[in-house]
Structure 1
Amino acid sequence: MKTMTCKQLGGACELSFSAATFEEMIALSKQHGMEMFQKGDAPHLEAMQAIKKLMDSPEAMERYFNEKRALFESLPSE
Protein backbone atom coordinates (compact mmCIF):
# COMPACT_ATOMS: atom_id res chain seq x y z
CA MET A 1 0.00 0.00 0.00
CA LYS A 2 1.08 3.53 -0.73
CA THR A 3 -0.37 6.80 0.51
CA MET A 4 -0.87 10.06 -1.38
CA THR A 5 -2.75 13.22 -0.53
CA CYS A 6 -5.45 14.86 -2.57
CA LYS A 7 -2.99 17.70 -3.22
CA GLN A 8 -0.31 15.31 -4.53
CA LEU A 9 -2.89 13.99 -6.98
CA GLY A 10 -3.74 17.48 -8.23
CA GLY A 11 -6.50 18.27 -5.76
CA ALA A 12 -6.88 20.88 -3.09
CA CYS A 13 -6.56 19.31 0.37
CA GLU A 14 -4.40 17.11 2.55
CA LEU A 15 -6.83 14.18 2.79
CA SER A 16 -4.81 10.97 2.42
CA PHE A 17 -5.66 7.98 0.26
CA SER A 18 -4.03 4.56 0.52
CA ALA A 19 -4.02 2.09 -2.35
CA ALA A 20 -2.05 -0.85 -3.68
CA THR A 21 -2.03 0.36 -7.29
CA PHE A 22 -2.00 3.68 -9.09
CA GLU A 23 -5.34 2.82 -10.69
CA GLU A 24 -6.90 2.27 -7.25
CA MET A 25 -5.41 5.57 -6.10
CA ILE A 26 -6.98 7.42 -9.05
CA ALA A 27 -10.36 5.81 -8.32
CA LEU A 28 -10.21 6.99 -4.70
CA SER A 29 -9.21 10.47 -5.85
CA LYS A 30 -12.08 10.61 -8.35
CA GLN A 31 -14.57 9.52 -5.70
CA HIS A 32 -13.33 12.24 -3.35
CA GLY A 33 -13.46 14.77 -6.19
CA MET A 34 -17.09 13.91 -6.90
CA GLU A 35 -17.96 14.36 -3.22
CA MET A 36 -16.27 17.76 -3.17
CA PHE A 37 -17.98 18.72 -6.45
CA GLN A 38 -21.38 17.86 -4.95
CA LYS A 39 -20.55 19.99 -1.90
CA GLY A 40 -19.49 22.88 -4.15
CA ASP A 41 -16.08 23.08 -2.46
CA ALA A 42 -14.42 26.09 -4.14
CA PRO A 43 -10.75 24.99 -3.83
CA HIS A 44 -11.56 21.57 -5.27
CA LEU A 45 -13.64 23.11 -8.06
CA GLU A 46 -10.62 25.24 -9.00
CA ALA A 47 -8.37 22.17 -9.06
CA MET A 48 -10.92 20.36 -11.24
CA GLN A 49 -10.97 23.26 -13.68
CA ALA A 50 -7.18 23.06 -14.00
CA ILE A 51 -7.37 19.33 -14.76
CA LYS A 52 -10.26 19.89 -17.17
CA LYS A 53 -8.07 22.40 -19.03
CA LEU A 54 -5.37 19.72 -19.35
CA MET A 55 -7.93 17.46 -21.01
CA ASP A 56 -7.98 19.83 -23.99
CA SER A 57 -4.55 18.48 -24.87
CA PRO A 58 -4.11 14.70 -24.92
CA GLU A 59 -0.34 15.18 -24.65
CA ALA A 60 -0.66 17.41 -21.58
CA MET A 61 -3.07 14.98 -19.94
CA GLU A 62 -0.75 12.05 -20.63
CA ARG A 63 2.19 13.99 -19.15
CA TYR A 64 0.11 14.81 -16.09
CA PHE A 65 -0.85 11.17 -15.49
CA ASN A 66 2.70 9.99 -16.14
CA GLU A 67 4.00 12.47 -13.54
CA LYS A 68 1.41 11.33 -10.97
CA ARG A 69 2.14 7.66 -11.73
CA ALA A 70 5.89 8.27 -11.33
CA LEU A 71 5.26 9.99 -7.99
CA PHE A 72 3.12 7.06 -6.85
CA GLU A 73 5.79 4.56 -7.93
CA SER A 74 8.51 6.51 -6.10
CA LEU A 75 6.69 6.37 -2.76
CA PRO A 76 7.66 3.74 -0.20
CA SER A 77 5.27 0.88 0.39
CA GLU A 78 3.69 0.79 3.81
Structure 2
Amino acid sequence: MKSMSCKQLGGACDIMFSGETFEDIAAQSKEHGMEMFQKGDIGHLKAMKTMKDRMQTPEDFNKWMEDKRKEFDALPEEG
Protein backbone atom coordinates (compact mmCIF):
# COMPACT_ATOMS: atom_id res chain seq x y z
CA MET A 1 0.00 0.00 0.00
CA LYS A 2 1.21 3.50 -0.88
CA SER A 3 -0.20 6.97 -0.22
CA MET A 4 -0.24 10.31 -2.01
CA SER A 5 -1.83 13.59 -1.00
CA CYS A 6 -4.43 15.58 -2.84
CA LYS A 7 -1.75 18.22 -3.49
CA GLN A 8 0.64 15.62 -4.95
CA LEU A 9 -2.11 14.69 -7.40
CA GLY A 10 -2.75 18.28 -8.47
CA GLY A 11 -5.37 19.13 -5.84
CA ALA A 12 -5.56 21.72 -3.13
CA CYS A 13 -5.39 20.00 0.27
CA ASP A 14 -3.40 17.56 2.36
CA ILE A 15 -5.95 14.72 2.53
CA MET A 16 -4.22 11.40 1.85
CA PHE A 17 -5.31 8.68 -0.56
CA SER A 18 -3.98 5.14 -0.14
CA GLY A 19 -4.06 2.16 -2.44
CA GLU A 20 -2.23 -0.76 -3.94
CA THR A 21 -2.08 0.86 -7.38
CA PHE A 22 -1.89 4.32 -8.87
CA GLU A 23 -5.35 3.72 -10.34
CA ASP A 24 -6.72 3.13 -6.80
CA ILE A 25 -5.58 6.51 -5.54
CA ALA A 26 -6.44 8.28 -8.79
CA ALA A 27 -10.04 7.07 -8.41
CA GLN A 28 -10.14 8.28 -4.79
CA SER A 29 -8.72 11.64 -5.85
CA LYS A 30 -11.34 11.98 -8.58
CA GLU A 31 -14.16 11.21 -6.13
CA HIS A 32 -12.73 13.71 -3.63
CA GLY A 33 -12.51 16.32 -6.40
CA MET A 34 -16.16 15.80 -7.30
CA GLU A 35 -17.15 16.25 -3.63
CA MET A 36 -15.13 19.45 -3.36
CA PHE A 37 -16.64 20.71 -6.63
CA GLN A 38 -20.14 20.15 -5.24
CA LYS A 39 -19.17 22.04 -2.08
CA GLY A 40 -17.78 24.91 -4.17
CA ASP A 41 -14.35 24.73 -2.50
CA ILE A 42 -12.38 27.61 -4.03
CA GLY A 43 -8.94 25.98 -3.73
CA HIS A 44 -10.10 22.81 -5.41
CA LEU A 45 -11.98 24.72 -8.10
CA LYS A 46 -8.73 26.52 -8.99
CA ALA A 47 -6.87 23.20 -9.06
CA MET A 48 -9.56 21.76 -11.32
CA LYS A 49 -9.18 24.66 -13.74
CA THR A 50 -5.45 23.98 -13.90
CA MET A 51 -6.16 20.30 -14.57
CA LYS A 52 -8.76 21.19 -17.22
CA ASP A 53 -6.23 23.46 -18.93
CA ARG A 54 -3.69 20.62 -18.82
CA MET A 55 -6.19 18.28 -20.46
CA GLN A 56 -6.50 20.58 -23.50
CA THR A 57 -3.20 19.22 -24.77
CA PRO A 58 -3.26 15.41 -24.66
CA GLU A 59 0.52 15.16 -24.81
CA ASP A 60 0.95 17.41 -21.76
CA PHE A 61 -1.74 15.58 -19.80
CA ASN A 62 -0.30 12.16 -20.67
CA LYS A 63 3.17 13.34 -19.60
CA TRP A 64 1.74 14.65 -16.32
CA MET A 65 -0.05 11.33 -15.68
CA GLU A 66 3.11 9.39 -16.50
CA ASP A 67 5.12 11.55 -14.09
CA LYS A 68 2.55 11.02 -11.30
CA ARG A 69 2.55 7.26 -11.91
CA LYS A 70 6.36 7.25 -11.68
CA GLU A 71 6.15 9.27 -8.46
CA PHE A 72 3.70 6.69 -7.05
CA ASP A 73 5.89 3.78 -8.17
CA ALA A 74 8.92 5.33 -6.46
CA LEU A 75 7.14 5.63 -3.09
CA PRO A 76 8.08 3.11 -0.39
CA GLU A 77 5.51 0.50 0.58
CA GLU A 78 3.72 1.36 3.83
CA GLY A 79 3.30 -1.02 6.62
* 1:28-47 pair list within 5 angstroms: 28-47=28-47
In structure 1, stretches of 5+ residues that fail to align are none
Q: Which residue of 2 aligns with 1:49?
A: 49
- Please give the secondary structure, in 2, of the residue aligned with 1:8: helix
Q: Normalising by structure 1, what TM-score? A: 0.98
In structure 2, stretches of 5+ residues that fail to align are none
Q: CA-atom RMSD, angstroms?
A: 0.4
Q: Normalising by structure 2, what TM-score? A: 0.97
Identity %: 55
Equivalent pairs counted in the alignment come to 78
* 1:18-37 pair list within 5 angstroms: 18-37=18-37
* Displacement of 1:23: 0.6
